Amino acid sequence: MAKIIEAIDPHAAWATMSVTTLVRIFTYGLIVGVVTSMLYIGLDRFVFEPILCRESAALARCESKDEFAAGTAIVLGSILGLFFLVRERVYRPILAILVVMIALWGIFGLLNSLHVLLAAAVAALLFALSYVLFAWLVQPTSLVISLVGIIVVAAISRLAIG
């Protein structure tokens, strides 16, 4: 007896994400954004400032404490985000997380001038939108289409952040 195989349109991969999945990814992005913001504040005030700004001769090191704290917070927050995206069974979760890290790398430098709660809220919203956008952009079955899409969007975001 012959077996019938149904062909699936490879360009319809974006249609596989349901609205509930997108809402959960948005929620996970909010959580990661809040956790990353709190990690940034905690690392900046309680780890890098006492270590790097201890001596008066260490002004050059003390000026870069914000970048160290932001980079460490984004990396640690991205580990949490990776667990969330794997739990949600997002296609190519590591690629999505790496591009979110690249796209939002300097965001805390821009948010430094805002009040702490407002900066955390803006960061959480940016992380949530980035998670949804990049989780959606890595969905096509063609790796080339995914890479082109995420490179273009990440380059635009890097230009916007500066």
DSSP for residue 35: H
Flag whether 2 is in a domain: no
pLDDT at residue 56, as a whole number: 66
Could you tell me the residue range of the domain that residue 81 belongs to? 19-161
**Residue 42 pLDDT > 90:** yes
What is the spatial distance between Cα 73 and Cα 71, in angstroms, rounded to a whole number? 5
Q: Do 42 and 50 contact (CB within 8 A), yes or no?
A: no
Mean pLDDT, rounded, for 157-162: 84
Flag whether 11 is in a domain: no
The total domain count for the chain is 1
What is the spatial distance between Cα 20 and Cα 130, in angstroms, rounded to a whole number? 17
Non-local CB neighbours of 138 within 8 Å, separated by 6+ positions: 90, 91, 92, 95, 96, 99, 146, 150
Entry pTM? 0.85
Flag whether 1 is in a domain: no
What is the spatial distance between Cα 43 and Cα 88, in angstroms, rounded to a whole number? 29
Read off the amino acid at residue 109. Answer: G
pLDDT at residue 8, as a whole number: 57
Q: Rounded to an integer, what is the distance from CA 6 to the centroid of its chain?
A: 36
Flag whether 4 is in a domain: no
Q: Do 84 and 76 contact (CB within 8 A), yes or no?
A: no
